């Protein structure tokens, strides 16, 4: 087989309403909109040697590597594809354990690459495999904008925002375990009743179904996990203050954090995002500019020959 490449875009949550824990699997119900952005890892699939392997330079044993390996194993088991040894390479650009779904994005990209290489497995099978891998993986099988319910596995496609949503990503030099943040949310009693969750789902659908870059009213962007993330990493509060002082009207923690994202609507959004990023350029880690993307951004493609190698 020929080597293939796919981008694995990060996701940000446009609102995250936390509901009760499910007795059957211990996951929390939620209502959220998951939006893919142009900040992305690069994942390649190529013939390997000896046995299947996943390589992620500089991140030995990271969750990104493990989830991609699980995706490879699950795809082989589900499809019976007996192609010789395969190697998955991941070039990391998405911060790790940051609330941006980097590991889930890599697993989803691995599934897309395997389906393209094998000619097996339709999108429905990829979604089914993704549900077994983790709550954030299904929404990243076909990157774009998804209304998510259940624990993230019940998805409804929403129209891509037009014009694109402008985003400034502010990583922190700190990692947060998703499980730890959810445990802290439980300790703080942040979960809402199921009826409120259902209402928020309807409100998000109504606000974003038409392709609006941001929901109205802005209160729909509220992330119920933010207080738990701040409790575990108080530095987040200072970053939120900095980005708002720099001119960001909408700033919130992404997912389970600790990353802070600033979101900019259609009125001079890209220009305003550039000004905010420039104002914060001296911070470490540096701010990253991004924009919303759809499925075409992440499509599996033949790997272009390396300059100087010919072919």
Q: Which of 11, 41, 160, 224 is catalytic?
A: 11
pLDDT for res 26: 86
Share of the chain above pLDDT 70, in %: 95
Across the chain, mean pLDDT equals: 92
Which is it for strands 145-149 and 250-253: parallel, antiparallel or unpaired?
A: unpaired
| Active-site residue, 136 included | yes
CA-based nearest residue to 62, from 34, 27, 90, 99 = 90
Mean pLDDT of 66-76: 95
Mean pLDDT of 101-129: 95
Cα 230 to its chain centre, rounded Å, is 20
Each residue's pLDDT tens digit, 267-289: 778 899 999 999 999 999 999 99
Residue 64 has pLDDT above 90, yes or no: no
Residue 308 has pLDDT above 50, yes or no: no
Largest Cα span, the chain: 60
Residue 211 has pLDDT above 50, yes or no: yes
In whole angstroms, how large is the CA radius of gyration of the chain? 19
pLDDT for res 82: 93
pLDDT for res 65: 59
Q: What is the pTM of this model?
A: 0.92
Share of the chain above pLDDT 90, in %: 84
Please identify which residue in the block is written with the tokens 């000004």. Answer: 275
pLDDT for res 309: 45
Each residue's pLDDT tens digit, 89-99: 999 999 988 99
Q: Which CATH architecture has domain 4-298?
A: 2-Layer Sandwich (3.30)
Return the HEC string of the chain.
CCCEEEEEEEEEEEEEEEEEECCCCCCEEEEEEEEEEEEEEEEEEEECCCCCEEECCCCCCCHHHHHHHHHHHHHHHHHCCCCCCEEEEEECCCCCCCCCCHHHHHHHHHHHHHHHHHCCCCHHHHHHHHHHHCCCCHHHHCCCEEEEECCCCEEEEECCCCCCCEEEEECCCCCCCHHHHHHHHHHHCCCCCHHHHHHHHHHHHHHHCCCCCCCCCHHHHCECCHHHHHHHCCHHHHHHHHHHHCCCCEEEECCCCCCEEEEECCCCHHHHHHHHHHHCCCCCCCCEEEEECCHHHHCCEECCCCCCCCC
Domain ranges in the chain are 4-298
Residue 63 has pLDDT above 80, yes or no: no
Q: Which of 41, 106, 136, 224 is catalytic?
A: 136
Contact yes or no for 214/263 (Cβ under 8 A): yes
* CA 289-294-297 angle, 5° bins: 75
| Active-site residue, 11 included | yes
Separation in Å, CA 146 to CA 130, 247, 282: 15, 28, 34
Each residue's pLDDT tens digit, 143-199: 999 999 998 889 999 999 989 999 999 999 998 999 999 999 999 999 999 999 999
Flag the least confident range among 203-217, 270-284, 292-306: 292-306
Mean pLDDT of 107-132: 95
**Residue 286 C-beta-side C-alpha neighbours within 13 Å:** 7
* CA 39-159-100 angle, 5° bins: 25
Residue 295 has pLDDT above 80, yes or no: yes
Each residue's pLDDT tens digit, 24-60: 888 899 999 999 999 999 999 999 998 999 999 876 5
Cα 92 to its chain centre, rounded Å, is 13
């Amino acid at each position: 087989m020929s080597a293939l490449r796919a981008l694995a875009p990060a996701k940000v949550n446009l609102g995250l309403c936390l509901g009760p824990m499910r007795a059957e699997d211990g996951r929390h119900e939620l209502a959220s909109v998951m939006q893919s952005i142009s900040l992305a890892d690069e994942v390649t699939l190529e013939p390997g040697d000896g046995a299947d392997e996943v390589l992620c330079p500089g991140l030995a044993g990271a969750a990104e590597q493990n989830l991609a390996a699980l995706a490879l194993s699950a795809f082989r088991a589900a499809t019976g594809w007996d192609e010789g040894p395969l190697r998955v390479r991941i070039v990391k650009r998405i911060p790790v354990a940051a609330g941006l779904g980097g590991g889930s994005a890599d697993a989803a990209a691995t599934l897309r690459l395997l389906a393209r290489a094998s000619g097996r497995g339709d999108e429905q099978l990829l979604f089914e495999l993704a549900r077994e891998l983790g709550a954030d993986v299904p929404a990243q099988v076909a990157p774009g904008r998804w209304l998510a319910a259940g624990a993230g596995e019940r998805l409804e496609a929403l129209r891509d925002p037009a014009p694109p949503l402008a985003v400034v990503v502010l990583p922190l030099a700190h990692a947060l375990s998703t499980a730890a943040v959810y445990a802290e949310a439980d300790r703080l009693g942040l979960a809402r009743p199921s009826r409120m969750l259902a209402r928020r789902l309807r409100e998000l659908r109504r606000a974003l179904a038409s392709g609006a870059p941001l929901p109205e009213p802005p209160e729909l962007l509220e992330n119920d996990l933010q207080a738990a993330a701040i409790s575990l990493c108080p530095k987040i509060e200072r970053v939120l203050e900095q980005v708002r002082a720099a001119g960001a009207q909408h700033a919130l923690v992404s997912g389970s954090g600790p990353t802070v994202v600033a979101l900019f609507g259609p009125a001079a959004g890209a220009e305003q995002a550039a000004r905010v990023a420039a104002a914060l350029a001296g911070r470490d880690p540096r701010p990253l500019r991004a924009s919303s993307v759809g499925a075409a951004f992440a499509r599996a493609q033949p790997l272009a020959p390396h300059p100087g190698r010919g072919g």
